């Protein structure tokens, strides 16, 4: 079987203007930062970006860069407050924002990947979230019907991959394993690529059948440096 | 002691041994510093981690592991990490014993508004994050906030004016002046801060406050 | 913190006549066989049993024994054909059976554990499964609304636990990690109990916050013998 | 070659290199033995395993690892195991390229009945297991069955008589006599078995069979 490891630009060439893109991670943590940096240079635009949260607090890092670089026309997620550029663009009408509670957002993505039409959640009942949604009562409790969501492309971040595309995560994988099911083309950015059989079957977080392209990120050493520098600056 | 520290100290007394708790940013996180002796709580963060260090020094961090503020952390013995769908399954599914969250407004029915600040017509910031799920799913919801805004207006209202984060979700409200409990028969004043009188609390509370019997002073 | 490891009978004492019980595993594989054997001796009856499938093919093993011993009044799952006693009791009216497609069954359990009211699945549209259910059309595709299910007690099977109740699975865990969220009292049968910190955090399949009781099963050596004997008899 | 082997051999030709496939019990599993040279397929089993041995000898087995028949297996290099909710997310979510399943009846619209045998009024056995999800979720559904029942009656019908497992789900039907494709404009005869004539197939097929041009013989 042909190795799924390909060059970064070849993988990113699947992302076209106007597409819907999912990016895994959580306000900076375990985000595919190398792919994002390159995507900024490539300049693809008018993206609809789906992420559970937004930029690392204060921006200037990870997926926040795509917004700061005006490549995103719509953001779908639970929060924009960590990204000053997103708040500003939303305010002035440049950026459309669709909010979902974080638990709802990830269930919508999971439903999209799992072939479900949607889920019924108690979250959001009695709030703005009810707008335009079906409300269903079961055993006297109200639920909102939240529908499935998918993307054209998802970029996820793993720690190691094998050439078959199996992904092993490290630390807090957050949204990455869920997004891996919910896009037509899945790019996995990792720090190591190994041979099939080198990853423990019990430890594989995303099987290779879900992954279309494996790309090398900055590597563990540079990743460590990048985050150490980031974390050395105190949060506001 | 400033208002925030007082609130955090009092909130920390709500922790019971073995409780799984999720703490919002600000005062709630601060409460973790005042967990009573002999009480062990299990911290849960919505990005997908259980039992983790509240402060991890640079040099000891793992670049792939963070808390819900994307700050470095490490798993403690007996802790674990998992994906965020599982994390919210824990939250919504009633597997988190208590959450402590801040608020912009809270009212006597337990309604809470804690994110939707209007920034343009029909537009709100910053987004609810995981708060709405926590409000619905955590077994006990403790709301910590300052009693009044900068202009001295009560944040403890008859009816919230901002868009709600959740309806009838709050169990306990802790401010720098008082502890109040939301019950089916009204908002009960349970404790006052040291040196604060019941009348002083009433004077800055828009909500109808039920006062029954002598009201004890908070023990901090 | 007190160790969650307790005696088998103390854990099983939470299962009373008439209760709803979930048992993890998959037609014999990774089932809590020691707990089931003891439950048979204890004779608790009129159980509603929820499992994704039924007995090991031919019966006489694992959860099939509870049905053969007439302790189950209702079975909820996707299949009974592997358990001759279940088919016979269903036919003669002793056993009530509620069928759900396997993927639907596990989503119902997941929803129960995740605080969702239910899910929308395309599975079963145009079949007997539609009976008594809401059908919802989204973007021109029909879905069945399948509601959440929970149990009074779940017995799951892990490989190792620590005294905090964290569970590490081995091999094919199937329904076990999902059921761990969906019952009021969760018993985990394992082959080893270790100290907190001995299980790799990334490898923990079920965090201890979900587990009420850890009980020792037959141990790895006896488990190996039991399955080897089972597998030595060819399937019909 | 007996009917079952012929069906299995022909079904195996539907495997494309890199396909993720889930095989039902009986003939479908048998097809795995005839995978064409140079074609590598990835087996998926609904209990939660990818890339595994079809036969694991006793002595080499792991007591905690089984296939969907609870028979011993081991993960092959590049394989993995996961929970069953994830497994059906793969199945329903379109991540399985093809499934081969048996059937009691199949009809010209692609409807299929493959589990609900009446055993008492309103009661059916043995249960659908994972078949209904596979029929709805797999990208290509291949149905393998003998063309007629023991009494010689066609199992390829105008309309199924037993309760359906799924509506309009089947793409390809393979019997010991023919290969038939379900299309929006009818059930097309695509191949006949070696030595079998089109008329012989028609004679034992209740469904309306579209026959266009010369029908090639199966290559086995």
Query: Is the confidence at residue A223, as pLDDT, over 80?
Result: yes
Q: Which chains touch C (3 or more CB pairs under 8 A)?
A: A, B, D
| CB atoms C166 and B90 under 8 Å | no
Residue A179, in any domain of the structure: yes
Q: Report chain C residues whose CB lies below 8 A from the CB of B17.
A: 1
Catalytically annotated residue among D5, D14, D40, D46: D46
Residue A31 has φ and ψ, to the nearest 5°, of -90, 150
Q: Which candidate, B110, B132, B129, places its Cα nearest to that of B184?
A: B110
Which subunits have 3 or more CB–CB pairs within 8 Å of chain D?
A, C
- Residue A183: CATH number of its domain: 3.40.1080.10
**Span A103-129, average pLDDT:** 98
CB contact under 8 A, D163 and C81: no
The answer to whether the beta carbons of residues C211 and C186 sit under 8 Å apart is yes
Q: Is B46 noted as a catalytic residue in this protein?
A: yes
For an interface test with A, the pick among C101, C102, C111, C116 (most A C-beta atoms closer than 10 Å) comes out as: C116
CB proximity A170 to C under 8 Å = yes
pTM: 0.98
pLDDT in tens, C47-72: 999 999 999 999 999 999 999 999 99
Total count of domains within chain D: 1
- Subunits that touch chain A (at least 3 Cβ pairs < 8 angstroms)? B, C, D
Judged by a CB distance cut-off of 8 A, whether residue C159 touches chain A is no
Domain residue limits at B196: 3-210
Chain C CA closest to residue D119: C91
In whole angstroms, what is the distance from residue C143 CA to residue C152 CA?
A: 29
CB contact under 8 A, C115 and B79: no
pLDDT of residue D111: 98
Q: For residue C177, what is the nearest residue in chain D, using CA coordinates?
A: D83
User: Between chain C and chain D, are at least 3 CB pairs below 8 A?
Assistant: yes
Query: Measured between CB atoms, does A111 come within 8 Å of chain D?
Result: no
Query: Is C196 inside any structural domain?
Result: yes
Average pLDDT estimate for D93-110: 97
- All residues of chain C having their beta carbon less than 8 Å from the beta carbon of residue D88 are 102-103, 106-107
Phi, psi of D164 (to 5 degrees): -75, 150
In a domain, C133, yes or no: no
Residues of chain D numbered 77-106 and touching chain C (CB < 8 Å): 81-85, 87-88, 91-92
Average pLDDT over residues C145-156: 98
B93–C114: do the CB atoms touch at under 8 Å? yes
DSSP string over chain D: --HHHHHHHHHHTT--TT-EEEE-TTHHHHHGGGPPTT---EEEETTTEEEE-S---TTS--TT-B-TTS-B--EEEEEEE-BHHHHHHHHHTT---EEEE--SEEETTS-EE-S-EEEETTEEES--TTHHHHHHHSSEEEEE--SB-TTS-BSEESS--SPPSBSS---EEE-SSEEEEEETTEEEEEEE-TT--HHHHHHT--SPEE--SPPPBPP-
Per-residue pLDDT tens over the stretch D126-170: 999 999 999 999 999 999 999 999 999 999 999 999 999 999 999
- What percentage of chain D carries pLDDT values higher than 70? 100
Q: Biggest alpha carbon distance in chain C?
A: 54
Mutation target to probe the C interface, by most C beta carbons within 10 A, among B22, B80, B89, B130 is B80
Give the mean pLDDT of A165-174: 98
How does pLDDT run across B42-56, given as a tens digit for each residue?
999 999 999 999 989
What band does A235 get if pLDDT is binned at 50, 70 and 90? low
- Subunit contact C169:A202, Cβ cutoff 8 A: yes
Non-local CB neighbours of D39 within 8 Å, separated by 6+ positions: D15, D16, D17
Mean pLDDT of B83-101: 98
Mean pLDDT for A167-177 is 98
Name which of A128, A129, A224 is nearest B63 (Cβ-Cβ). Answer: A224
C143 vs A170: CB contact, 8 Å cut-off?
Answer: no
**Reduced to 3 states, what is the DSSP secondary structure of residue B192?**
strand
* Percent of chain B whose predicted confidence (pLDDT) is above 90: 97
Q: Can the peptide bond before residue B126 be classed as cis, meaning omega within 30 degrees of 0?
A: yes
Rounded mean pLDDT, B163-178: 98
Question: Which chain B residues have a beta carbon less than 8 Å from that of A126?
Answer: 111, 164, 166-168
Shortest distance between the Cα of A43 and any Cα of chain C, in A, equals 32
Q: Give chain B positions within 8 Å (CB) of A127.
A: 132, 163-167
Cβ atoms A222, A18 nearer than 8 A: no
What is B124-182 written as a DSSP string?
Answer: EES--TTHHHHHHHSSEEEEE--SB-TTS-BSEESS--SPPSBSS---EEE-SSEEEEE
B touches D, CB cut-off 8 Å, minimum 3 pairs: no
Q: Which of B5, B14, B40, B46 is catalytic?
A: B46
For residue B150, pLDDT over 80 is answered with yes
Q: What is the pLDDT of residue B1?
A: 83
pLDDT band at residue A236 under the 50/70/90 scheme: low
Task: Please tell me if residue A184 touches chain D, with a CB cutoff of 8 Å.
Answer: no
Please give the structure tokens belonging to residue C161.
């636990």
The answer, for D167 touching chain C at a CB cutoff of 8 Å, is: yes
Reduce the DSSP state of residue B75 to 3 states and report it: strand
User: Does C83 fall in a domain?
Assistant: yes
Could you tell me the residue range of the domain that residue A38 belongs to?
Answer: 8-115+150-235
Structure tokens at A232: 């050395």
Q: Is residue B220 part of a domain?
A: no
Question: Pick from A107, A114, A147: which is nearest to C138 by CB?
Answer: A147
Please check the confidence at residue C236 and state whether its pLDDT lies above 80.
Answer: no
Q: What distance in Å separates the CA atoms of residue B9 and residue B32, rounded to the nearest whole number?
A: 9
Distance CA D64, CA D81 (A): 11
Query: What are the respective helix, strand and coil percentages of chain A, to the nearest 5?
Result: 30, 30, 45
Token duo for residue D86 = 């994830």
Neighbours of B33 (CB within 10 A): 12
User: What DSSP designation does B68 have?
Assistant: T
Q: How many CB pairs under 8 A join A and B?
A: 169
Do the beta carbons of residue D106 and residue D165 sit within 8 Å? Answer: no
With a CB cutoff of 8 Å and minimum separation 6, the contacts of B136 are: A122, A123, A125, B92, B166, B169, C115
Strands (E), C101-225: 118-121, 135-138, 141-147, 151-157, 160-162, 167-168, 183-190, 192-194, 213-216
Alpha-carbon gap, residue B191 to B177, rounded angstroms: 9
- A156 domain residue, yes or no: yes
Nearest to D50 by CA among D73, D30, D33: D73
Whether D170 is in a domain gets the answer yes
- Please say if the pLDDT value at position D1 is more than 90: no
Q: In what order do the strands lie in the sheet with A160-162?
A: A167-168, A160-162, A192-194
Closest CA to B174 of B220, B143, B206: B143
Terminal CA-CA length for chain C: 49
pLDDT tens readout for residues A117-166:
999 999 999 999 999 999 999 999 999 999 999 999 999 999 999 999 99
**Contact status of B166 with chain A (Cβ, < 8 Å):** yes
How far apart, in whole angstroms, are the C-alpha atoms of residue C77 and residue C107? Answer: 12
Q: Count of domains in chain C?
A: 1
Contacts (Cβ under 8 Å, ≥6 apart) of B113: B103, B104, B105, B106, B160, B161, B162, B163, B164, B165
Domain annotation covers residue D71: yes
- Contact by Cβ (8 Å): B164, B124: no
Residue D9 in tokens: 């051999």
What is A164-225 written as a DSSP string? T--EE--S--BTHHHHTTSEEEEEEEESEEE-TTSS-GGG-SB-GGG-SEEEE-SHHHHHHH
Q: Are C118 and A120 within 8 A, CB to CB? A: yes
Instruction: Report residue B153 CA to chain centroid gap.
Output: 20
Q: Does D57 touch chain C (CB under 8 A)?
A: no
Contact C122/B at CB under 8 A: no
β partners of residue A138: A141
Helix (H) or strand (E) holding A111: helix A102-114
Report yes or no: D44 at the A interface, CB cutoff 8 Å.
Answer: yes
**pLDDT reported for residue D50:** 98
Please report whether residue A81 resides in a domain: yes
CATH number at residue D62: 3.40.1080.10
Tokens matching residue C195 = 């100290």
Q: What mean pLDDT comes out for the span A75-87?
A: 97
* Order of strands across the sheet that contains D156-157: D112-113, D105-107, D156-157
Q: Is residue C206 within 8 angstroms of chain D, CB to CB?
A: no
In the block, tokens 């006896």 appear at C222
Q: How confident is the model at residue B102 (pLDDT cuts 50, 70, 90)?
A: very high
Distance CA B200, CA B176 (A): 12
Residue C138 lies in a domain: no
* pLDDT for residue B220: 87
Q: Which residues of C30-69 are buried (b: 16+ CB within 10 A; e: fewer)?
A: bbbbbbbbbbeeeebeebbbbbbbbbbbebebbbbbbbbe
For residues B165 and D1, what is the distance between their CA atoms, to the nearest angstrom? Answer: 68
Kindly report the number of other CB atoms within 10 A of residue C123's CB atom. 31
> Do A107 and C118 lie within an 8 Å CB cutoff?
no
**Distance separating alpha carbons of residues A211 and C77, to the nearest angstrom:** 32
Q: CA angle at residue A93 from A89 to A94, to 5 degrees?
A: 55
Instruction: Supply φ then ψ for residue C166, to 5 degrees.
Output: -65, 135
**How sure is the predictor about A234, in pLDDT bands with cuts at 50, 70 and 90?**
confident
| CB nearest B95 (choices: C110, C181, C197) | C181
The residues in A 67-106 lying below 8 A from B, measured between CB atoms, are 77-82, 87, 90-91, 97, 99, 101-104, 106
* Residues whose CB is less than 8 angstroms from the CB of residue C234 and which lie 6 or more positions away in sequence, other chains included: none
In a domain, A37, yes or no: yes
Quick one: pLDDT band at residue A1, thresholds 50, 70, 90?
Answer: confident
Q: Is A132 within 8 Å of chain C by CB?
A: no
């Amino acid at each position: 079987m042909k190795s799924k490891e390909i060059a970064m630009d070849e993988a990113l060439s699947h992302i076209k203007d106007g597409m819907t893109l999912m990016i895994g991670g959580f306000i900076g943590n375990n985000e595919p930062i190398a792919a994002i940096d390159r995507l900024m240079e490539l300049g693809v635009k008018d993206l609809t970006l789906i992420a559970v949260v937004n930029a690392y607090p204060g921006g200037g890092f990870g997926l926040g860069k795509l917004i700061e670089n005006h490549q995103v026309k719509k953001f779908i997620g639970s929060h924009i407050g960590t990204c000053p550029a997103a708040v500003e663009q939303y305010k002035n009408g440049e950026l459309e924002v669709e909010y979902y509670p974080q638990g709802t957002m990830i269930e919508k993505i999971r439903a999209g990947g799992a072939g479900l039409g949607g889920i019924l959640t108690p979250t959001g009942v009695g709030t703005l979230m009810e707008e335009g949604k079906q409300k269903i009562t079961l055993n006297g409790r109200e639920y909102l019907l939240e529908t499935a969501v998918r993307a054209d492309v998802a970029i996820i971040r793993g720690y190691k991959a094998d050439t078959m595309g199996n992904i092993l995560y490290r630390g807090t994988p957050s949204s990455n394993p869920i997004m891996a099911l919910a896009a037509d083309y899945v790019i996995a950015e990792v720090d190591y690529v190994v041979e099939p059989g080198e990853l423990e079957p019990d430890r594989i977080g995303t099987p290779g059948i879900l992954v279309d392209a494996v790309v090398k990120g900055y590597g563990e050493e540079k990743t460590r440096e990048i985050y150490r520098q980031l974390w050395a600056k105190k949060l506001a | 002691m400033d208002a925030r520290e007082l609130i955090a100290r009092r909130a920390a007394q709500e922790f019971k041994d073995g409780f799984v708790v999720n703490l919002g940013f600000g005062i709630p996180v601060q409460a973790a510093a005042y967990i009573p002796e002999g009480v062990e709580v299990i911290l849960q963060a919505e990005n997908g981690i259980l039992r983790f260090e509240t402060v991890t020094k640079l040099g000891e961090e793992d670049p792939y592991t963070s808390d819900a503020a994307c700050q470095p952390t490490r798993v403690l013995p007996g802790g674990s990490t998992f994906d965020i769908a599982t994390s919210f399954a824990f939250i919504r599914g009633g597997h988190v014993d208590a959450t402590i969250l801040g608020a912009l407004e809270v009212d006597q029915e337990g309604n809470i508004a804690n994110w939707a600040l209007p920034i343009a017509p029909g537009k709100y910031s910053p987004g609810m994050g995981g708060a709405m799920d926590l409000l619905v799913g955590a077994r006990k919801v403790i709301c910590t906030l300052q009693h009044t805004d900068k202009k001295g207006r009560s944040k403890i209202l008859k009816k919230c004016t901002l868009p709600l984060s959740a309806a009838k979700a709050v169990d306990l409200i802790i401010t720098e002046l008082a502890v109040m409990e939301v019950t089916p028969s009204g908002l009960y004043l349970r404790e006052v801060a040291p040196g604060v009188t019941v009348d002083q609390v009433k004077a800055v509370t828009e909500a109808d406050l039920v006062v029954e019997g002598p009201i004890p002073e908070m023990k901090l």
